Amino acid sequence: MDVLHIRGGRRLTGEWTVHTAKNAALPIMAAAVLTSDRTVLEDCPLLSDVSHMGEILTHLGCRVTRNGRSLEIDPQGMNNHEMPDALAKKIRSSIFLLGPILTRFHKATVTFPGGCEIGLRPIDLHLSGLRQLGVEIHEEGGVIHCDGRHMQAGCVHFDYPSVGATENVMMAAVLLRGKTVISNVAREPEIVDLQHFLNRMGARVSGAGSHTIVVEGVRRLHGISYTPMPDRIVAGTLLAAAAITGGKIHLKNVPANDMYAVFSKLREMDCVLTQHEDGVTLHAPERLRPFERLQTQPHPGFPTDMQAQLLALATVASGTSILVENVFENRYGHVGDLNRMGADVLINDRTAVVKGVGELYGARVTARDLRGGAALALAGLRAVGETIVEQAHLIDRGYEHLEEALASLGAEIQRKQSE
């Protein structure tokens, strides 16, 4: 397994271009099978989660070809409605292939994707949404059998605005004759991107980004070429890296209009953020101020995927910050190791009380999940001495070689094989 070796104390400076978004590309890859035409994702992020999704599509009979940064999906030969258990367990987001498979075959078999480091990750909202479209679902020994022969357009309401469940039902509805109204949907920007993608394929979806999405069914969809939106979490992570090191960086290809909650917290910590035509500049203060309270919420609230990174910043702020993680029940896996680096964080259920300290000290730490791993790397950029982040492959799930971006901005960081 790879590890990251980081020597802290360098201020980050310079410029970097953010890659396309994992959480846009994955549902778009699932949507590509809604037609038997070829689709090309022009700039598809080089991430392990994307590769795993490609493996699942290949298992289902699609031809998936990577040409540099572009990814071609040819679903012509798709002939399998059964999700491969072992592969599906590798990425939770495989669950939103359920809608497209049902649309293609009017039946689907999946197993429970299982929890992960940040929580149990149930799929009850996915199944409830599909049932409301008339899918008959029964579970037997951990296997979920879906019969979509009587699927029909109608009304779907979510008890909670789940991102994946919203995407699943959108994709299940696009070829259902009539109008489907989906209420209390997630409003994440990646859902707006999925709507753009589906409509470019010939679908008629509206309302993404609001609390209600309306789908007018069409007869068929066609293949397209498409570039997913930029990754707002990668952008936020790199801005946080500049912030924790007292640096000044300029990021290009940033979806700034989707990042106001993150910008607002960085400004509260005394960072100066300036939006330009081509991106965003962050100028960090000598010492970060604490933020009063950070509560993770569905978009447009503060994104849970940026909680770990802002918690890392708070560990060296000039006072006490409070964080509340409302979205996932177990998303403080990074705190133990941050405290081993000299941070002073107290966790009580979903609340973290972070007392800023003057300095962090390098240590050997372990990434437990994608964003927690990135947060440990950020702490290493600041810490005195060397930090070694183990299980770096978890970071590769959502960041294209994070060490390259950080090194190009002046960090002393290297990827090595673990001893």
Q: Which residues contact ligand EPZ by CB under 6 A?
A: 22-23, 26, 92-93, 119, 121-126, 160, 162-165, 186, 188, 304-305, 327-328, 370-371, 398
9: alpha, beta or left? (left if phi > 0; alpha if psi -120 to 50): left
Phi first, then psi: give them for residue 390, nearest 5 degrees.
-85, 165
* Two structure tokens written together for 391: 């299980």
Round to whole Å and give the CA distance between 47 and 45: 6
Cβ-based nearer residue to ligand EPZ, 12 or 21: 21
Round to whole Å and give the CA distance between 246 and 329: 32
Using CA atoms, how far residue 221 sits from 100, 217, 394, in Å, is 12, 10, 35
Cβ-based nearer residue to ligand EPZ, 342 or 372: 372
Catalytic residue numbers, as ranges:
116
Cβ-based nearer residue to ligand EPZ, 284 or 367: 367
Does residue 176 contact residue 219 with C-beta atoms inside 8 Å? no
Does residue 6 contact residue 381 with C-beta atoms inside 8 Å? yes
Round to whole Å and give the CA distance between 31 and 223: 10
Number of Cα atoms under 13 Å in the Cβ half of residue 129: 33
How far does Cα 346 stand from its chain's mean position? Answer: 26
